[in-house]
Amino acid sequence: MINSVINDKRITTLEDGGSSKLNEFNFVSKELNEKLIRSQKSNRAFAAASANPDGDSEQEVHFRLNQTGNIFYSTTSESIQGETKDLFDSVTVLFSAMTKALSDKGKNLFDYDSWGQLIRSSGFFVEVQKFQKTLEIKSSSLSIDTQVVQALLPGLQSGSSMDIAKSVLNALNGEYNSGSTNESTKLCHLLFICEEIFGAPSVTVRLFYATQESHTSITSSPCHRRTSTSFEQLQEADTFLFVSPETIARFASQFGEDPEAYTILIEKLKGYINEQPK
């Protein structure tokens, strides 16, 4: 049903990103981290009173990334079902509609101002915090883009998902080095972070952004190259919580029966994007 209204299959195609031990992983969602802590305490108490000394230490978090690099999954379930699937499918529908709205307005996926207008005006998100992380790029055998991805998405270590994430960085690098930007131009990358732990889902959105000036160290050379010197780079993002999944889920269920509902959603989103003087 969702595929019937989304033309770009790269949005709906997810690539495997490997896995990590649950007790070594931090969820973006504060609520899920608190749930994890409670669960681990309960399991440790159970393990102490039983013949299972390992508790939940063998539980894993599985990672996936869609082919456009905009939807990231970290889940304790290999097969997502029920309300979690409905919520995550809603993310796919909304992201597709938002990208179509941007395209119809002549904007590209790096346009920070337009993404901000869409997110803040749509009613589907609430801004929860400013994300700041100082990335330590070290002189090592790892390329710059690998180190950046591993710092921002700790679960990804190798494979096709890592290649997708690195291609996003290379695309941003190309934008910064093009003649259409200046030192103050703010470019961005939108990432939906879909998390699930023991059946409880959460969706967080981060709008990563920077100017060419703040990315001088990276944009001065291709991301795929190794560096012979160490440096630091401040990564900033606006962080939003997806707060109206029921509405989008209802839209998503309508699209298979009434494609016009999807068009109406796109037109609504387009209305939030301001025309910018040329």
Longest dimension (CA), the chain: 70
Q: Report, as an integer, the average pLDDT of 170-187.
A: 79
Residue 5 pLDDT: 61
The reported pTM is 0.85
At 165, the pLDDT band (50, 70, 90 cuts) reads: very high
Query: Which residue has better confidence, 212 or 105?
Result: 105
Task: Give the mean pLDDT of the chain.
Answer: 83
At 256, the pLDDT band (50, 70, 90 cuts) reads: low
What percentage of the chain has pLDDT greater than the value 90? 35
Q: What is the spatial distance between Cα 118 and Cα 11, in angstroms, rounded to a whole number?
A: 18
At 247, the pLDDT band (50, 70, 90 cuts) reads: low
Q: Which of 31-40, 159-168, 180-189 has the highest mean pLDDT?
A: 159-168
Q: For strands 186-197 and 71-75, give the pairing.
A: parallel
Query: Which residue has better confidence, 46 or 209?
Result: 209
At 47, the pLDDT band (50, 70, 90 cuts) reads: very low
Q: Report, as an integer, the average pLDDT of 4-24.
A: 85
Residue 70 pLDDT: 95
Q: Which amino acid is at 259?
A: P
At 63, the pLDDT band (50, 70, 90 cuts) reads: very high
Q: What is the spatial distance between Cα 83 and Cα 200, in angstroms, rounded to a whole number?
A: 9
Residue 96 pLDDT: 92
Q: What is the spatial distance between Cα 41 and Cα 64, in angstroms, rounded to a whole number?
A: 28
Q: Which amino acid is at 205?
A: V
Q: Locate 174 and state its tokens.
A: 């190309």
How does pLDDT run across 121-163, given as a tens digit for each residue? 998 899 998 898 888 888 877 888 888 888 888 788 878 999 9
At 3, the pLDDT band (50, 70, 90 cuts) reads: low
Is pLDDT at 239 greater than 90 in this prediction?
yes
Q: What is the spatial distance between Cα 226 and Cα 141, in angstroms, rounded to a whole number?
A: 7
CA distances from residue 94 to 14, 26, 87, 255, 277 in whole angstroms, order as listed: 16, 26, 11, 12, 27
Query: Which residue has better confidence, 153 or 181?
Result: 153
Is pLDDT at 1 greater than 60 in this prediction?
no
What percentage of the chain has pLDDT greater than the value 70? 82
Q: Report, as an integer, the average pLDDT of 223-246.
A: 81
At 278, the pLDDT band (50, 70, 90 cuts) reads: very low
Q: Report, as an integer, the average pLDDT of 2-20.
A: 82
